[in-house]
Chains A and B, each alone.
Chain A
Amino acid sequence: MIKRVLIANRGEIALRILRACRQLGLEAVVAYSEADADSRAVLVADEAVCIGPADAKQSYLSAPAIISAALATGCDAIHPGYGFLSENAAFAEAVAAHKLTFIGPSAPILEKFHSKAATRALLAKHGLPTIPGSDGVVADEAAALDAAKKIGYPVILKASAGGGGRGMRVAQDAAELSKNFSICAQEAQAAFGDGSIYLEKYLSATHHVEVQIAVDSEGTALHFGERDCSLQRRHQKLVEESPSTALTPRVREEFLARAAKAIGAAGYRNVGTLEFLVGPDGKPYFIEINCRIQVEHPVTEVVTGVDLVALQIALAAGARMPMRQTDIQPRGHAIEFRITAEDPAKNFQPQAGEISAYRSPSGPWVRFDSHLYAGYEVPPYYDSLLGKLIVWGATREEAIARSRAALRELEIDGVATTRDFFLGLLESPSFLNGAVTTSMLDDVGTAAILAAAPRRSGDQAGA
């Protein structure tokens, strides 16, 4: 049983978790750093507790501070959100050692799925096709060159402990691999405390498709359809949609069922996401797993009608799966736009400062998950996500048309945002015809997309 949840995160996801707790009748305490004292989650919460200074290492990344805060405020569970400590097995273990429930997979499961190289091998054994790659971690440069020769160039070097698009480098040939190997290992060591590297065949213009799954404590595994996250910039997702334009109905059905079956059999528990790249044959190949609720989870919520955060909390509390696979019938099309405090005209440079004016979009089938309010000061210490616009339509075309209207309605003044970039994107023929690949931004160019955005004066007239 969970009665009182410490929300150990910030920004929009803290608010999202708070809403789920309230809906479930759970008490919630928002943990915040000094820099987030005026954040919306703190203002909205019934109770909030300051856990440390702005520096995340002493607050959102401090396991002792977070667990101590949970004990001091009488919580019996901790929701880690995404990022920060959400997939940290040592943290999950410490949480459990203090007789608190970690809302996510247990420490042994996080440990088991921590190594990307080992997870690839494990899920291949359970029937998931994987991208050709090295047989686990490559020990050194010589082993990497050897593996790359077998796989065939181009290859991508990946940090085994990596995530969020960091610690990845592409090598077109042996010379580039030699050059990048030590750099990549050093980056991985610095970012994740683990310099282990593995190799995969690099697919340049492809679709990135992921499957939302949930598994209860008995091993009952369901899938909740896929999300297409192909539109990326430096391996960071910008837009996600469901269903994917890259899968035929036949491929989709088989692939989703196989993913759910494999992850249940491999021993995974709680909610998670399996990421795939679509190969030249049109079929998805497994690349990695995310052992947490994801930023883009609302896309799935909107098409399936399932509250994934509420489900996640229920499963962590030991509940059996409250639905069957046949109950999950995705409907229509949903698109999410990540509105960030980044300036697309300046190479997506992160912005900080006061939101001088704010108007959120609304209307039928428009959801804006955001912690913004007019007067809010965007702190410079954390990631730049300001909000997620999720729009549903009966068809992809309807969802796009409604997205245009919603984006025009959205007003954020005081910091540069990615809003106009998305307005331009929705005029791009590549996006409109569904040819959204991982290399689309490089091919079309940010400048061309921005230039296609309707003039801002037009919005003012409609304000």
Chain B
Amino acid sequence: MAKFRDLANANVSGEGRAEELGALIDALLPVLVDRLAETGLGEIEVERNGATVRVRSESLGVQQAAAAQAPAAPGAAAAPAPSSVSAARKHAVRATAVGFLTLSKEIHVGAKVAKGALVATVEVLGIPTEVRATHGGIVAALKSATGDPVEYGQEIFLLESIGEGAK
């Protein structure tokens, strides 16, 4: 049996298991920290087997997070630290009805989304049904595009929580 959502999301990567995630971080961390220092980039993100590891320069990262989210702890931005690592938490934003999808214009990979924001509509016989973000975060991956048929509960895109500031 292939469920509708399996067919529609044939490229969806699975959730990594905890131990796999641990091993992945152990292997990638030193390499990524070195590369961050070499390049002077604010942030590096690597995706393997459906799990994402992001390494970010603290001063830059927290400012970004603070801009998008609830205020970070006041001292955090001021206190520079070499880097922080988060095996980012991903939240799927799901279709609230069965029908045809329209993504809101501002939704693209890398976009910041506030909790409760209107991120898409599903058209049910001509009537739009709202899809709102259940979490705040950054759009990590799109799973459906405008015009796609979606079923109830189908993943539309993945949101990644933004470090310590994200709730």
- Whether A64 touches B152, Cβ cut-off 8 Å, given contacts A42-B1, A52-B97, A69-B98, is no
Instruction: State the Cβ distance, A96 to closest chain B Cβ, in Å.
Output: 13
A293 within 8 A of B: no
In the assembled complex, the Cα of A43 lies from the Cα of B149 at a distance in Å of 21
Which residues of the partner chain B approach A53 to less than 8 Å between Cβ atoms? 152
A 32-87 contacts with B by CB, 8 A: 34, 37, 42-53, 59, 64-65, 67-69, 71-73
Q: Is B7 an interface residue (CB 8 A)?
A: yes
B23 at the interface (CB under 8 A from A): no
A44 touches B152 (CB 8 A): no
Name the one of A43, A49, A68, A71 contacting B4, with C-beta atoms under 8 angstroms.
Answer: A49
Across the interface, which residues of A come within 8 angstroms of B153, CB to CB? 34, 50
A47–B2 CB distance below 8 A: yes
CB contact between B151 and one of A49, A64, A98 (< 8 Å): that residue: A49
- Could you tell me the distance in whole angstroms from the C-beta of A45 to the nearest C-beta in chain B? 6
Cα–Cα, bound, A37→B1 (Å): 12
Q: Are B125 and A67 in contact (CB under 8 A)?
A: yes
CB neighbours of B2 from chain A (8 A): 46-47
Q: Which 7 A-B pairs have the closest CB atoms?
A: A72-B149, A68-B99, A49-B4, A50-B151, A68-B124, A50-B152, A69-B98
Given contacts A48-B3, A64-B127, 18 further A-B contacts (CB under 8 A): A34-B153, A37-B3, A47-B4, A48-B1, A48-B4, A49-B98, A49-B151, A50-B151, A52-B98, A59-B152, A64-B124, A64-B125, A65-B152, A68-B98, A68-B125, A69-B99, A71-B149, A72-B149
A-side contacts of B98, CB under 8 Å = 49-52, 65, 68-69, 72
Contact-residue size bin, chain B (C-beta under 8 Å from the other chain)? 20 to 34
Interface string of B145-167 (1 = CB under 8 A from A): 00001111110000000000000
Does B115 sit within 8 A of A, measured CB to CB?
A: no
Complex CA–CA separation, A134 to B123 (angstroms): 47
B143 CB–A CB distance under 8 Å: no
Residue of B nearest to A33 (CB): B152
A46 to B5, CA, bound (A): 12
The answer to whether A50 and B124 have CB atoms under 8 Å apart is no
Interface residues of A (CB under 8 A from B): 29, 34, 37, 42-53, 59, 64-65, 67-69, 71-73, 98
Q: Which residues of A contact B151 (CB under 8 A)?
A: 49-51, 69, 72
CA distance A291 to B97 in the complex (A): 29
Closest to A34 in B: B153
Expressed in whole angstroms, the Cα–Cα distance for A69 and B3 within the complex equals: 13
Chain A residues with Cβ under 8 A from B127's Cβ?
A: 64
Contact B152 A34 (CB under 8 A): yes
For B125, the chain A residues whose CB sits under 8 A away are 64, 67-68, 71, 98
A29 to B98, CA, bound (A): 14
A408–B132 alpha-carbon span in the complex (Å): 53
Residues of B within 8 A of A71 (CB): 99-100, 125, 149
Q: How far is the CA of A69 from the CA of B7 in the complex (A)?
A: 15
A72 touches B100 (CB 8 A): yes
A51 to chain B, nearest CB (A): 5
Q: Mark B1-17, 1 if CB is under 8 A from A, else 0.
A: 11111010000000000
Residues of B within 8 A of A45 (CB): 1
Query: Which of A42, A44, A47, A49 is packed against the most chain B CB atoms within 10 Å?
Result: A49
Give bound CA distance, A49 to B5, whole Å. Answer: 8
Report B53-101 residues with CB < 8 Å from chain A CB: 97-100
Q: Which residues on the B side are within 8 Å of A51 (C-beta)?
A: 98, 151-152
A–B complex contacts, Cβ < 8 Å, 30 sampled: A43-B1, A44-B1, A46-B1, A47-B7, A48-B1, A48-B4, A49-B98, A49-B151, A50-B3, A50-B154, A51-B98, A52-B152, A53-B152, A59-B152, A65-B124, A65-B152, A67-B125, A68-B97, A68-B123, A69-B151, A71-B125, A71-B149, A72-B98, A72-B99, A72-B100, A72-B150, A72-B151, A73-B4, A73-B149, A98-B125
